[in-house]
């Protein structure tokens, strides 16, 4: 088989109807319209799916919180509390940095008698 036997479809290239692999007779405008329709459709589907999941989980949130409170061990509750405190500390440090405030000075560990001067 010679190269001349292979049809070169780019020689007869028409910019209005490029040689697409799928749906070969479509125009560029049809391709653009279908692309935008797909983008809008998938975006709408994702938004609706997110709304449905949020509505479904909002009702169960209190129930899950109650189950967690009843069934969690003391160690788990301590770990959760420590994690919350660590996140709060990280966020406060970031807020101070964002506001241009200096890092919080550590307190002195020396014990002093308040009545002694």
pLDDT, one tens digit per residue, over 47-72 is 999 999 998 888 888 888 888 888 88
pLDDT at 94 over 60: yes
pTM of the model: 0.45
Query: At residue 111, does pLDDT exceed 60?
Result: yes
Q: What is the pLDDT of residue 69?
A: 82
**Chain centroid, CA 54 distance in Å:** 15
Instruction: Tell me the average pLDDT across 11-28.
Output: 76
User: Mean of the pLDDT values across residues 93-109?
Assistant: 85
- Please name the residues in contact with 10: beta carbons below 8 A apart, sequence gap of 6 or more: 19
């Amino acid at each position: 088989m010679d190269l001349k036997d292979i049809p070169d479809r780019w020689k007869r290239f028409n910019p209005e109807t490029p040689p697409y692999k799928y749906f070969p007779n479509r125009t560029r405008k049809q391709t653009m319209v279908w692309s935008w329709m797909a983008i809008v459709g998938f975006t709408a589907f994702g938004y609706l799916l997110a709304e449905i999941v949020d509505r479904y989980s909002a009702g169960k949130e209190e129930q899950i919180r109650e189950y967690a409170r009843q069934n969690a061990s003391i160690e788990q509750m301590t770990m959760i509390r420590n994690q919350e405190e660590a996140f709060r500390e990280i966020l406060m440090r970031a807020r101070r940095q964002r506001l241009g405030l200096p890092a919080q000075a550590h307190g002195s560990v020396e014990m002093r008698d308040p009545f002694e001067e």
